[in-house]
Amino acid sequence: MKYDVEVKINLKKGMLNPEAATIQRALALLDYRVENTDTMKTIKFSLDGSSENSARENVDEMCQRLLCNPVIHDYEIKITPIE
């Protein structure tokens, strides 16, 4: 079976986020006031798997090994069967 996968990756709470700080400062210079700026990376792809659970396990392994750094990142996996 084929699955659409979406992985959302962001920094863990307490980690410095220079990209978000730069965006917040730049918006302030343009007279936009925003708070709690955060950045998130979204990765989307399709994957074959024997079951949704097996697909999730494979994606989790991908995240642990390549897509993010589990020491500093949190990630959320969304898997949708393709009919």
- The model's pLDDT over 37-81, given as tens digits with 9 standing for 90+, comes to 899 999 999 999 999 999 999 999 999 999 999 999 999 999 999
Q: What is the CATH number of the domain that holds 8?
A: 3.30.1280.10
Residue 6 CB-half CA count within 13 A: 7
Give residue 36's identity as a one-letter amino acid code. N
Backbone phi, psi, residue 17, to 5°? -125, 85
Structure tokens at 43: 């990765």
- In angstroms, what CA-CA distances link 72 with 1, 29, 67, 80? 33, 29, 12, 27
- The model's pLDDT over 4-30, given as tens digits with 9 standing for 90+, comes to 999 999 999 989 999 999 999 999 999
Q: How many domains does the chain have?
A: 1
Higher pLDDT, 66 or 83: 66
pLDDT at 82: 94
pLDDT at 37: 87
pLDDT at 83: 81
Domain that holds residue 37: 2-81
